């Protein structure tokens, strides 16, 4: 072994990362990298053909994920990762399409697309990294900021009700819904694995520390302090009623897998319906006719 190889051992995730783009832009203590690690691990375990997995991100800190993942990867516009993924999936149904983006991107500016993709049971996996604020732009209040938490555009504390995302996802029609924190590395990996193996709209929320903005502004300490909060106040309740999953400021975090059901996907429903109505005139779309 050459000397430099000894000094710089290979990154164990090298297979999944664009090493020519590392170091990444995320802050020390940020949780996004942890979720990326879980994603890479889930891919490894999934045994999927990686040539057929595509990642679509929107804009924001988590929006940068697409740029680091060594798969077909698209860094799109703010809020539009899900409709982009919808087009990609429908054009090439062989693909496993993963949307990897933040709370502001997916349920703030892109909220409408989120509920409609869930309603249609579009066969995509949505990994939403929830850091409770708009971090890329400097810590503004978000649709996920807990009440009373401070943000740069909520300097007196937030008074808007935040979304309960698992409830929203389930109500809109998602067939797989889970929530974890960045502390639950193994569980996040397992959920992503399950979602990758599933057909239908899968949604995984991962609560992550934003040390530079959310934690600093709220004097919550560093990354370790936030992980300790997750450790002390998160509670695994698989199958919990999603109506009970509101998050209060530094309050209890109910995590787990809440929904895992089967339902025809958009394409399944389309093929089934059109075959029934049109008969021989219709050839099922996106399935091999060889």
Partner 1 sequence: MKKVKTDPKGVLTGAHYLDGDYALAEGALAAGCRFFAGYPITPSTETAERFSARIPLVGGVFIQMEDELGSIAALIGASWGGKKAMTVTSGPGFSLMMENIGLACMMETPLVIANVQRGGPSTGLPTLTGQQDMMQARWGSHGDYEIIALSPDSPQECFDLTIEAFNLSETYRVPTFVMTDECVGHMTEKVVIPPAEEIEVVERKWYTGPKDKYLPYKLDKDGIPFMVKAGDGYRFHTTGLTRDEKGYPVINAECQDVCVRHLVDKIKMNADKIIKIEEEDTDDAEVIVLSYGITSRVSVRAVQKARKAGIKVGTLRLITVWPFPEKRIRELAKKVKAFVFPEINYGQVVYEAERCAAGQAPVIPVPHLGGWVHNPEDIYKAIKEAVK
List of residues contacting partner 1 (CB under 8 A): 18, 20-21, 50-52, 54, 56, 66-67, 70-77, 79-80, 83-92, 94-95, 112-113, 116, 266-267, 270, 274, 278, 281-283, 285-286
Name the burial class of residue 42, with classes exposed (0-12), middle (13-18) and buried (19+) by CB atoms within 10 angstroms of its CB: buried
Given the complex with partner 1, which of 67 and 221 has the nearer CB atom?
67
HSE value, Cβ hemisphere, 13 Å, CA-based, for 165: 37
What's the CA dihedral at 204, 164, 57, 105 to 10 degrees?
Answer: -170
Cβ 265 to partner 1 shortest distance, Å: 13
Looking at the Cβ atoms of 219 and 281, the one nearer to partner 1 is 281
β-pair partners for 72 = 54
Instruction: Give the nearest distance from C-beta 134 to partner 1 in angstroms.
Output: 18
Quick one: 78 or 216, whose CB is closer to partner 1? 78
84, 228 contact by CB (below 8 A): no
- Minimum CB–partner distance for residue 90 and partner 1 (Å): 5
Six token digits for residue 268: 């399944």
CB of 66 to partner 1, least distance (A): 7
Q: How far is the CB of 104 from partner 1 (least distance, A)?
A: 16
Q: Residue 257: beta bridge partners?
A: 178
Between 159 and 285, CB nearer to partner 1: 285
Query: Residue 91: which H helix or E strand, with range?
Result: helix 81-91
Rounded to a whole number of angstroms, the CA Rg of the chain reads: 19
* CB nearer to partner 1: pick between 46 and 225: 46
User: Burial code of 87-115, b = ≥16 C-beta within 10 A, e = fewer?
Assistant: ebbbeeeebbbbbbbbbbbbbbbbbebbb
Strands 53-57 and 72-75: parallel
Smallest separation, CB 167 to partner 1 (Å): 20
- Output 50 or 147, the one with its CB closest to partner 1: 50
């Amino acid at each position: 072994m050459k000397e430099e190889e000894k000094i710089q051992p290979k990154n164990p995730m090298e297979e999944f990362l664009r090493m020519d783009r590392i170091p990444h832009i995320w802050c020390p203590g940020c949780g996004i990298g942890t979720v990326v690690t879980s994603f890479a691990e889930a891919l490894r375990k999934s045994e999927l053909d990686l040539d057929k997995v595509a990642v679509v991100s929107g804009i924001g800190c988590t929006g940068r994920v697409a740029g680091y993942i060594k798969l077909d990867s698209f860094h799109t516009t703010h809020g539009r990762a899900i409709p982009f993924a919808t087009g990609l999936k429908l054009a090439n149904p062989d693909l496993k399409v993963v949307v990897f983006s933040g709370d502001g991107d997916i349920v703030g500016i892109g909220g409408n697309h989120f509920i409609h993709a869930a309603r249609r049971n579009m066969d995509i996996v949505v990994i939403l990294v929830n850091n409770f604020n708009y971090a890329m732009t400097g810590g503004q209040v978000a649709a996920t900021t807990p009440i009373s938490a401070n943000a740069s555009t909520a300097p007196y504390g937030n008074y808007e009700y935040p979304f309960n995302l698992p409830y929203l996802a389930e109500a809109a029609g998602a067939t797989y819904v889970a929530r974890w924190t960045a502390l639950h590395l193994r569980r996040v990996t397992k959920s992503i694995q399950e979602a990758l193996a599933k057909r239908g709209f899968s949604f995984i929320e991962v609560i992550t520390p934003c040390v530079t903005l959310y934690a600093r502004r709220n004097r919550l300490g560093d990354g370790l302090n936030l992980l300790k909060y997750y450790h002390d106040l998160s509670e695994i309740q698989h199958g919990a009623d999603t109506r009970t999953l509101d998050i209060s400021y530094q309050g209890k975090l109910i995590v787990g897998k809440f929904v895992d059901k089967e339902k025809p996907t958009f394409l399944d429903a389309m093929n089934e319906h059109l075959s029934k109505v049109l008969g021989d005139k219709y050839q099922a779309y996106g399935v091999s006719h060889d």
